[in-house]
Amino acid sequence: MRRFLRSLLIIVIGIVVAIAALIWEGTTLESMLYVGDVPVIDFATLQRDSVPNQYLLCPKGMCSTETDGEAPVFDVPIEQLQVAWDEMLAEQPRLQILRRDVTNIQIDYVQRTRLLRFPDLVTVRFVPIDAGHSTVAIYSRSVWGKGDMGVNRTRVEEWLARLKARVG
């Protein structure tokens, strides 16, 4: 009986160590939870899925699909908004640029969760309004699963609050 319990304990410890190693070494989990091909998002023609693990804000009249709200207008030119955005995102953990279009107006990111490294995609498009005002269209969505416990909404709202604090 002692041999059995000792063997069982060794197996359990081995499993715990393996799981801890996977969580600690995120690259292993990242390779398992791949992003796949990221389509180019056209906000004007975007059609959303029915899953709740996404959050979309658009400037008034830009998106033809149902949005989760209207994007805020910032009292700065688009160039200044882009610089503030890049500075703000440089502080974000586990964030990687996947694609930046040649005009630097639309950028795709992947941000991964801290423990299990689930990937979320975020697409942002900078939109000029006039010489002194600009806004963004932003679409945050999970790659895996159907629910996100509000993570995509929270991310967008936090990023926009940090951006607003930077540009005033």
Q: Which amino acid is at 68?
A: D
Residues 8-56: pLDDT tens digits?
Answer: 888 888 787 666 666 655 555 666 677 778 889 999 999 998 888 999 9
Residues 156 and 82 in one domain: yes
Q: Which of 10-19, 70-79, 108-117, 156-165 has the lowest mean pLDDT?
A: 10-19
- Domain tally, the chain: 2
Residues 1 and 66 in one domain: no
Residues 83 and 126 in one domain: yes
* Residue 71 to residue 6: CA distance in whole angstroms: 60
Residues 21 and 48 in one domain: no
pLDDT at 113: 84
Beta bridge partners of 58: 70
pTM of the model: 0.81
Answer positive or negative: Cα dihedral of 164, 165, 166, 168: positive
* Residue 4 to residue 113: CA distance in whole angstroms: 38
Residue 25 belongs to domain spanning:
1-32
Residues 61 and 6 in one domain: no
Strand duo 133-142 + 119-130: pairing: antiparallel
Q: Say which residue, 95 or 6, is predicted with more confidence.
A: 95
83: left (phi over 0), alpha (psi -120 to 50) or beta: alpha
Residues 44 and 94 in one domain: yes
Residues 100 and 121 in one domain: yes
Whichever domain contains 137, its CATH number is 3.30.310.220
Residues 12 and 72 in one domain: no
Residues 65 and 80 in one domain: yes
Residues 16 and 76 in one domain: no
Residues 43 and 97 in one domain: yes
Residues 114 and 80 in one domain: yes
Query: What separation, in Å, do the N-terminal and C-terminal C-alpha atoms of the chain show?
Result: 70
